[in-house]
């Protein structure tokens, strides 16, 4: 017999089956944690907010009407908690850090065949992460959901509770901001390559 579907597990969890909810949490833990990490840039904060997301989901599961997918509802909880957290933290610290030992999603497909290329890939990855972290929060949230999580603009709009056009506009602006921030670095690297 195959794995039960998400909808069936949600129904069982709504009826008090703790093990059904635990299975849902196992299925979505990594996805939620990655999304939060991409927004906060801090592994400990991502762990804490992911736990808080699942606790809030468990407490409010009876209110979930199943008009959207469970994953969409869960993302919405995670993103709302994270955006509220970031607003509070903004006054305390302007620059967020990322544990450098974590591999970044957008760097995982780069094929490295020399120490020099490895170094360049790591440096570009760090510059890109810094540029994404510097985006205003609404743009960063849209960018993370679409680029890192692979969502459509419509899916991201559902989670962020805005229109699909708003997400598309934010993505357009976010790309322009990232290009502007990375252009000097990329020119510098191109110039260094031409010298060699």
CA distance 45 to 59: 21
State the helix-helix crossing angle for 18-40 and 43-60, rounded to 10 degrees. Answer: 140
pLDDT digits (tens, 9 = 90+) for 23-35: 999 999 999 999 9
Tell me, yes or no, whether 67 and 2 share the same domain: yes
Compute the Cα dihedral for 183, 41, 175, 93 and give only its sign.
Answer: negative
Give the confidence band of 47 by pLDDT, cuts at 50, 70, 90.
very high
Shared domain check, 25 and 87: yes
Which of 40, 69, 100 represents a domain boundary (last residue)? 100
Q: Does residue 140 share a domain with residue 79?
A: no
Task: Report helix, strand or coil for 9.
Answer: helix
More confident call, 75 vs 183: 75
């985006």: which residue's tokens? 135
pLDDT above 90: residue 4? no
Domain of 135 in residue numbering reads as 103-196
Mean pLDDT of 39-67: 92
The residue with greater pLDDT, 127 or 22, is 22
Please check whether residues 17 and 40 belong to one and the same domain: yes
What is the per-residue pLDDT for 129?
84
* Phi, then psi, of 165 in degrees rounded to 5: -60, -35
For residue 2, give the CATH number of its domain.
Answer: 1.10.1740.10
- Is 140 in the same domain as 195? yes
The CATH number assigned to the domain holding 141 equals: 1.10.10.10
- Identify whether residues 33 and 87 lie together within a single domain: yes
Out of 59, 74, 100, a domain closes at 100
Does 96 share its domain with 1?
yes
For residues 73 and 108, membership in a common domain is answered with: no
pLDDT surpassing 70 at residue 144: yes
Residue 101 in tokens: 């030992």
CB 178 within 8 A of CB 135: yes
Average pLDDT on 139-163 reads 90
For the chain, the straight-line distance linking the first and the last C-alpha, in angstroms and rounded, comes to 60
How many domains is the chain built from? 2
Whether this model's pTM surpasses 0.85? no
Q: What's the CA angle centered on 22, arms 19 and 26, to 5 degrees?
A: 140
Residues 96 and 5 in one domain: yes
Q: Stretch 162-184: mean pLDDT, rounded?
A: 91
Per-residue pLDDT tens for 77-117?
Answer: 999 999 889 888 765 554 333 333 334 444 444 444 556 66
45 and 133 belong to one structural domain: no
Long-range CB pairs of 159-165, under 8 A, 24+ apart, other chains included? 159/72, 159/75, 159/76, 159/79, 160/79, 161/76
- Residue 113 and residue 27 in one domain: no
Looking at 78, 100, 122, which one is the last position of a domain? 100
Residues 118 and 31 in one domain: no
pLDDT at residue 195, as a whole number: 63
């Amino acid at each position: 017999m195959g794995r039960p579907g998400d909808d069936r597990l949600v129904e069982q969890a709504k009826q008090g089956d703790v093990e059904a909810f635990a299975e849902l949490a196992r299925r979505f833990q990594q996805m939620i944690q990655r999304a939060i990490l991409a927004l906060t840039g801090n592994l400990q904060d991502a762990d804490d907010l992911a736990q808080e997301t699942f606790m809030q989901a468990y407490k409010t599961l009876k209110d979930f009407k199943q008009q959207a997918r469970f994953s969409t509802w869960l993302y919405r909880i995670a993103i709302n908690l994270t955006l509220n957290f970031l607003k509070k933290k903004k006054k305390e610290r302007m620059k967020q850090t990322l544990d450098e030992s974590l591999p970044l999603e957008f760097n995982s497909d780069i094929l490295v065949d020399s120490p020099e290329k490895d170094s360049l890939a790591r440096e570009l990855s760090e510059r890109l992460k810094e540029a994404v972290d510097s985006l205003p929060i609404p743009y960063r949230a849209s960018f993370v959901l679409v680029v890192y999580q692979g969502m459509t603009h419509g899916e991201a709009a559902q989670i962020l509770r805005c229109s699909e056009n708003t997400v598309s506009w934010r993505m357009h602006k976010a790309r322009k901001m990232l290009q502007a921030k990375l252009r000097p670095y990329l020119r510098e690297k191109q110039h260094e390559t031409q010298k060699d």
